[in-house]
Amino acid sequence: MNIRPFDYSDADYELYVRLSNAVYPDQPRTLEALRHFDATKGPGEIAQTFFIEQAGQAVGWFAFMTPRFNPLSGQLEVEWGLLPGHEPLSEALWGALERELARHRPGALVTRVREDWPQAAFYMARGFEVYDRMWPSTLDLGRFDPAPFQRPLPESIRIGTLADLDYHSEAVQRRYYALVTALLRDVPSAQPVELWPFELWQERSMKDKNLIPEANFIAFEGEAMVGVSQLWRSPRPQTLQTGLTGVLPSHRRRGIALALKLRALEYARQQGYRYVRTNNHQVNRPMLALNEALGFEKGPAQLHLKKSLFVKEEL
């Protein structure tokens, strides 16, 4: 078994996408998303990928990185995969990953894995523990009837989209960022939430090719933004992916999130999409209740695993 670092060439990007999609076909990756990920690395963030080769052929990879969606200090997120038939290399791969990781002296490793995949047991056997769970769920628009859900919004509330605003201007982006970050802080989650600074958010979200300004639905009260529901382009066929949905605490339980989601579903239907997907923390009862009522159907849970490490010299 030979190990070599990812060299950032076009060929290596293509190889990574090919391997990843062969091992995890239900979590499709695109070249564009990988390049965007690398191009928007934050200051001081770590991201390294290595290929596993046998007889000169890449048969797997491992990678570790500063967690993108919650970059908590001291944590590194790990991932790996081996093509079918090469699973016996997993022990050696893990040993190599640990050696490469050690130079960065992480305080904890985190990863995400589907509950029904063999990797879940692999991680548990190596001291990882479940600290959070998320449910992906999907609504089939072919079977969705919005009529029973329609109800009037409070008179002071109007729904628009990011595309209605001058969203390239920093002033609008800062207002949107303020809303999004206030709501993200409020999403029930098992770990503290570390938010991206404005400039990184601008690069990662506003310049993401998967951003659809017309499908970022915003609830306004006068000029104030009080709620949001976002749809993003997805590598899954016929599918749009839900991003953040949220309503400021002062405006909850008045049907605003429901109205935002209905607008988003109507947009998806009008654009010819068949499915809308979403991901929710299993502890997020309010959001789950809303999605369950609309008819989203859950898939196998995604486990969030963590292993705390300590540095021996510091004992």
Ligand X SMILES: CC(C)(COP(=O)(O)OP(=O)(O)OC[C@H]1O[C@@H](n2cnc3c(N)ncnc32)[C@H](O)[C@@H]1OP(=O)(O)O)[C@@H](O)C(=O)NCCC(=O)NCCS
Binding to ligand X by residue 157, rule CB under 6 A? no
Residue (83 or 256) nearer to ligand X, CB? 256
The beta-strand segments (E) located in the chain are 2-5, 47-54, 57-65, 75-82, 108-114, 129-140, 157-161, 211-221, 224-233, 239-247, 275-281, 297-298, 302-308
As measured in angstroms, the least distance from the Cβ of 187 to ligand X is 4
Decide: 277 and 242 in contact? Cβ < 8 Å: yes
Angle 268-193-67 (CA atoms, 0-180°, nearest 5)? 80
As measured in angstroms, the least distance from the Cβ of 251 to ligand X is 7
As measured in angstroms, the least distance from the Cβ of 221 to ligand X is 12
**Residue 190: DSSP 8-state:** S
Binding to ligand X by residue 245, rule CB under 6 A? yes
In 3D space, the residue among 158, 147, 141 whose CA is nearest the CA of residue 273 turns out to be 141
Binding to ligand X by residue 252, rule CB under 6 A? yes
Residues 254-283 that bind ligand X (CB under 6 A): 254-258
Residue (127 or 188) nearer to ligand X, CB? 188
- Select the residue interacting with ligand X from 1, 293, 300, 311 (CB under 6 A): 293
| Helix or strand run (H / E) with residue 311 | none
Residue (21 or 284) nearer to ligand X, CB? 284
- Select the residue interacting with ligand X from 59, 63, 83, 183 (CB under 6 A): 183
Q: How far apart are CA 9 and CA 49, in angstroms?
A: 13
Q: How far apart are CA 110 and CA 108, in angstroms?
A: 7
Residue (49 or 241) nearer to ligand X, CB? 241
Binding to ligand X by residue 95, rule CB under 6 A? no
Binding to ligand X by residue 286, rule CB under 6 A? yes
